[in-house]
């Protein structure tokens, strides 16, 4: 049985678009000021990381809440759903591999996958997807992350990625960009 690892955010869904365009509402019961809420949201939208050495703090808690809301509201790519169903029909083992914190968001993500009729066999959180794929002997990864696109071939992983503006300056090293998931079907069915 062939196995494929597939990213969730910005690959099967429109997570970043949802983060950028959703009008999140300030909730005073969250325990932060409205000013801090807007500053944190701006920081998140700019892609700024938390500089704290703590694993959990006010900003990381805020990010977790917004990420959960984005997971609920993100739209699935129709061609991605069709691709996942094609994989299932052709007996591929499907591994959803995400950076998302499954300790806090597993139920929401599983519900989202079910609601969008996206089949999968396994759902894993992996900070380094190339190492993860090597450990699990998965040689195909579908992912938008720049580091995976740039370095996949060094790990013996064939990376396919949805073409985005962030990939314009990336050294591709054998990774293949696609505009629709239909292209992947022709590339992987051999």
Provide the edge-to-edge strand list for the sheet that holds 93-98.
122-125, 93-98, 3-6, 140-142, 158-162, 176-178
Specify the pLDDT at position 115.
95
Structure tokens at 178: 């696609």
How many CA atoms lie within 13 Å of 144's alpha carbon, on the beta-carbon side?
19
Distance from the Cα of residue 93 to its chain's centroid: 18
Q: What's the rounded Cα separation, in Å, for the pair 59 and 65?
A: 10
pLDDT higher than 70, residue 102: yes
**Residue 170 — pLDDT band, cuts 50, 70, 90?**
confident
Contacts of residue 49, Cβ cutoff 8 Å, sequence gap at least 6? none
**Residue 181 — pLDDT band, cuts 50, 70, 90?**
very high
Domains of the chain: 3-13+75-188 (3.40.50.1000), 15-73 (no CATH)
Instruction: Report pTM.
Output: 0.88
Residue-wise pLDDT for 127-155, tens only, equals 899 999 999 999 999 999 999 999 999 99
Residue-wise pLDDT for 42-91, tens only, equals 999 998 877 777 667 888 889 888 988 998 899 999 999 999 999 999 99
Q: What's the rounded Cα separation, in Å, for the pair 52 and 94?
A: 35
Residue-wise pLDDT for 6-27, tens only, equals 999 999 999 999 999 999 999 9
Structure tokens at 144: 């938008």
Q: Residue 163 in contact with residue 143, Cβ under 8 Å?
A: no
Helix (H) or strand (E) holding 64: helix 58-73
Q: What's the rounded Cα separation, in Å, for the pair 117 and 76?
A: 10
Distance from the Cα of residue 87 to its chain's centroid: 18
Q: What's the rounded Cα separation, in Å, for the pair 173 and 154?
A: 8
Q: What's the rounded Cα separation, in Å, for the pair 95 and 124?
A: 7
């Amino acid at each position: 049985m062939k196995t494929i690892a597939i990213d969730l955010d910005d690959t099967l869904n429109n997570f970043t678009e949802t983060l950028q365009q959703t009008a999140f509402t300030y909730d005073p019961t969250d325990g932060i000021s409205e000013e801090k809420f807007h500053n944190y949201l701006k920081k998140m939208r700019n892609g700024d990381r938390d500089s704290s050495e703590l694993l959990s703090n006010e900003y990381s808690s805020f990010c977790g809440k917004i990420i959960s809301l984005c997971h609920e509201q993100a739209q699935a790519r129709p061609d991605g759903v069709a691709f996942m169903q094609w994989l299932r029909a052709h007996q591929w083992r499907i591994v959803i591999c995400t950076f998302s914190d499954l300790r806090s968001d597993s139920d929401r993500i599983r519900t989202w996958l079910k609601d969008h009729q996206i089949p999968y066999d396994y759902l894993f959180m992996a900070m380094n997807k190339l190492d993860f794929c090597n450990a699990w002997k998965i040689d195909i990864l579908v992912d938008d992350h720049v580091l995976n696109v740039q370095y996949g071939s060094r790990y013996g992983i064939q990376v396919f990625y949805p073409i985005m503006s962030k990939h314009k300056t990336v050294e591709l090293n054998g990774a293949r960009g696609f505009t629709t998931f239909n292209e992947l079907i022709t590339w992987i069915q051999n």
